[in-house]
Chain A
Amino acid sequence: MILQGIAFYVFAALLVASGVMVISARNPVHSVLYLILAFFQAAGLCLLMGAEFVAMILVIVYVGAVAVLFLFVVMMLDINFRELRQGALEVLPLGGLIGLILLSELAAVAGGWIVAPGVEKLAAAPTPAITTVTNTHALGQLMYTQYVYLFQACGIVLLIAMIGAIVLTLRHRVGVRKQDVGAQIARHRDSVVAIRKVSSGEGV
């Protein structure tokens, strides 16, 4: 038990510390690396709570895919971030206000979970006990039965976002040499090579 306590405080302290470093690091690439460290600490906290599936998905999706693309973009940007930081103090009140609004929303959600009607019923039996069924089974049973419409709606939103991103960025340029694999494979020797007998001094 004491080991778990120590692990929790180590993960939590490192999470907060790396979160602070994300916004205070001078070099934007270092910021992204600290963000990745923060994701790892969050995954560690999930593991401590017994949410192994969520922890692994967090690492796979955020660290393995999203943060790689972040890093990819940030490395290629050539921006002087010190110049960008110049006016940071002037917008500090606005940033603080947004932070406060988000915090109060979080409190509202947490409060709603306590006082909302019908919550006891949901909270009483969210999933079977962790000893009888694995994380993955429990999540699947809940997501594909009770919340199946919401789950499908999420999928549709993501699909539309993806198609939207493609439509917005796709440009059809003319005069680009493209490789058509089908046409290449379909080429036959007879249609592209002609053998002629050339007698000397005459040409083709």
Chain B
Amino acid sequence: MAEFFNGFLLPLIIIVLKILAITVPLLVAVAFMTYAERKIMGAMQLRQGPSLVGPFGLLQPFADGLKLFAKEQILPEGANRVVFYIAPMITFFLALVAWAVIPFDYGVVLSNINVGVLYLFAISSLGVYGIVMAGWASNSRYAFLGALRSAAQMVSYEVSMGLIIITVLLCVGSLNLTDIVRAQETIWFAIPLFPMFIMFFISALAETNRSPFDLPEGESELVAGFMVEYSSAPFALFFLGEYANMILMSAMTSILFLGGWLSPLPFAPFTWIPGVVWFALKISACLFTFVWVRATMPRYRYDQLMRLGWKVFLPFSLFWVVLTAGVLVTFGWLPK
């Protein structure tokens, strides 16, 4: 019995506790992300934003959540019941499982796998299924059009995203996320690979279906796109998934280009602050940019979106892969 406890049950309990230690703060962060977005956009548009529920409106996200979960669930006529309910679950589930490999500090990671970047890339490329399945299962034209747009858009931007990740991997020589951060101890990759940093961030906007690439839900022409038929808890799951994905993409940007948990300057007053705080600050800076872009930019037209993905990002990132490889080989900087 003691052997069973020490060999099997205890590790299981520890893993479950670790998972809770990641997901619970993440969900709280998602809740306050919605609040922060409304507040920031309010400030940018000279409004107050939410200000009535709780001090400074801080309890607004919880009020919204309660309201959503108390509403009636509606299954549209002719909808495919199973797929209709699985779709939001997949979106939310994928937004959470990706966090298993994110290193919050040196050694502070749930699962330190060798192919961490590939895992993240795989999970983020699966995000399209939630949307496509939702659009198809809703049995609605608006939802279906949103799903088709989203499928084409996400597949297109994944290509350039993969090439951008390859440039980073060339400089690191490892697919492990902890190694990628430690390779940036001398200089953050955002500086030597600056164009790739910008392109990665723009691709992240497209991958998360955020403005100016929010055509799958484009409310002006598709009502609300793929989630038009959803209400109550399934809608809330889509919403939470979208914001968790934004936080995930910001975390990816910080790990690949902004040095993860590393402090910006490697000496005393900066290194006193723990790595987790630096990591959170970098993620917050990226998230602020997400909101900033949404408050500033008009939505792309669909052909412009495709042109940007295939005719600008793909050739340029391919060129940059060749350039990086060439420079690394010429100067003998290839990582061992």
Interface positions of A (Cβ within 8 A of B): 27, 29-30, 33, 36, 52-53, 56-57, 59-60, 63-65, 68-69, 71-72, 75-76, 134-136, 179, 181
Contact = CB atoms under 8 A, between A and B. Distances in A.
Interface string B287-312: 00000000000000001100100000
Contact of B125 (A30, A53, A60, A181): A60
A136 B155 contact: no
Contacts of A69: 151, 155
Chain B CB count within 10 A is highest, among A29, A56, A135, A181, for A56
Contact of A64 (B126, B132, B174): B126
B22 interface: no
Contacts of B114: 52, 134-136
Nearest to A71: B132
A151 to B, nearest CB: 16
How big is chain B's contact interface, by range?
20 to 34
A52 B128 CA distance: 23
A160 B114 CA distance: 34
Interface string B13-34: 0000000000000000000000
B281 interface: no
A175 B128 CA distance: 35
Interface of B: 80, 83, 113-115, 118-119, 121-122, 125-126, 128-129, 132-133, 136, 144, 147-148, 151-152, 154-155, 158, 162, 174-175, 303-304, 307
B225 to A, nearest CB: 15
B155 A56 contact: no
Contacts of B121: 56, 60, 64
A99 to B, nearest CB: 30
A65 B136 contact: no
B31 to A, nearest CB: 29
Given A56-B119, A134-B114, A68 B132 contact: yes
Nearest to B132: A71
Which of B115, B147, B151, B174 is packed against the most chain A CB atoms within 10 Å?
A: B115
B137 to A, nearest CB: 9
Given A30-B83, A64-B125, A71-B129, 7 more contacts: A53-B118, A57-B118, A63-B122, A64-B122, A68-B151, A72-B151, A75-B148
